């Protein structure tokens, strides 16, 4: 009885963990450039003295879904979306380099090109500083050009280039802050093949319908595990009753 109860108990707990992952994905269905977290179940033997006679359930996070989201045209000059594979390099809160697909950019009060969450966008030599200007343009290759105040309509000067990278999918992970980093801690090199689409934003790649269906499936799995726990309790009570009669 205890084997059945233990397995059902661990399965119920891990189903709740999977539900948390799915709920977080669903909560970010409207977050620009968000990449869904993946989850999967697997059985694990309990290691210890003697034979491995117990098995428990475990929810794993094998990675993230890097499928590109849909392009949403905004027409705003500082909105950019990565075309196909690739990432925009930003300065993480800890000062290190991280990567994102959220291209809703703006110029801070200090003249630094930043994301909507206030992270500095990195160029070849660090954060990109933008001087006061009449117009700002971001090219397909990530080049940032400005029209100085008082300059003619065609007088654009390049002030920097956004660092665009495309590390191996197997070498990236997403942190609790939602930013992408390399698993081995290395800094990804700039990839000239990565391109941007100006005046557009990439939507989240989370499907609200699929996430809702997944939520229902996980809820039913949880209910099934609870029923198994109750069945184990009933079987144990019945066995105890039989032992008293003998």
Tell me what pLDDT residue 237 has: 79
Tell me what pLDDT residue 246 has: 59
Average pLDDT over residues 206-216: 95
What share of the chain in percent tops pLDDT 70? Answer: 90
Tell me what pLDDT residue 187 has: 94
Tell me what pLDDT residue 224 has: 92
Tell me what pLDDT residue 239 has: 78
Q: What is the band of 41 on the pLDDT scale with cuts at 50, 70, 90? A: low
Task: Please say if the pLDDT value at position 1 is more than 60.
Answer: no
Average pLDDT over residues 207-214: 94
Task: Please say if the pLDDT value at position 85 is more than 90.
Answer: yes
Q: What is the band of 60 on the pLDDT scale with cuts at 50, 70, 90? A: low
Average pLDDT over residues 63-84: 94
pLDDT greater at residue 41 or residue 90: 90
Tell me what pLDDT residue 198 has: 95
Say if residue 184 is exposed, middle or buried (CB neighbours under 10 Å; 0-12, 13-18, 19+). Answer: exposed
Q: What is the band of 84 on the pLDDT scale with cuts at 50, 70, 90? A: very high
- Residue spans of the domains in the chain: they are 2-65+206-245, 71-202
Q: What is the band of 52 on the pLDDT scale with cuts at 50, 70, 90? A: low
pLDDT in tens, 171-196: 999 998 999 999 988 999 999 999 99
Sign of the alpha-carbon dihedral angle for 121, 125, 131, 136: negative
pLDDT in tens, 125-139: 899 999 988 999 999
Q: Which helix (H) or strand (E) element contains residue 230?
A: helix 208-245
Integer-rounded Cα Rg, in Å, for the chain is: 25
Task: Please say if the pLDDT value at position 170 is more than 60.
Answer: yes
Buried-exposed string 141-159: b where 16+ CB fall within 10 A, e elsewhere: ebbbbbbeeeeeeeebeeb
Average pLDDT over residues 204-224: 94
pTM for this prediction: 0.82
């Amino acid at each position: 009885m205890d084997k059945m109860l233990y397995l059902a108990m661990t399965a119920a707990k891990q189903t709740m963990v999977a539900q948390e992952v799915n709920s977080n994905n669903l909560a970010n269905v409207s977050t620009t450039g968000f990449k869904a977290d993946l989850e999967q179940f697997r059985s694990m033997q309990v290691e210890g003295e003697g034979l491995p006679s117990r098995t428990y359930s475990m929810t794993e996070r094998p990675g993230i879904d890097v499928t590109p989201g849909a392009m949403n045209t905004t027409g705003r000059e500082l909105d950019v979306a990565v075309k196909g594979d690739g990432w925009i390099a930003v300065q993480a809160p800890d000062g290190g380099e991280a990567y994102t697909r959220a291209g809703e950019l703006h110029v801070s009060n200090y003249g630094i090109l930043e994301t909507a969450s206030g992270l500095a966008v990195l160029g070849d030599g660090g954060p990109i500083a933008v001087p006061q200007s009449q117009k700002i343009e971001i090219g397909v290759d990530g080049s940032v050009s400005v029209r100085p105040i008082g300059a003619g309509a065609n007088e654009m000067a390049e002030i920097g280039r956004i660092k665009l990278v495309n590390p191996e999918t197997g070498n990236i992970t997403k942190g609790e802050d939602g930013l992408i980093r390399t698993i081995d801690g290395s800094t990804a090199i700039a990839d000239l093949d990565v391109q941007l689409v100006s005046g557009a934003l990439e939507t989240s790649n989370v499907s609200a319908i699929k996430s809702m269906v997944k939520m229902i499936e996980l809820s039913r799995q949880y209910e099934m595990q609870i029923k198994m726990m109750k069945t184990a309790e009933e079987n144990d009570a019945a066995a105890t009753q039989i032992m008293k009669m003998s």
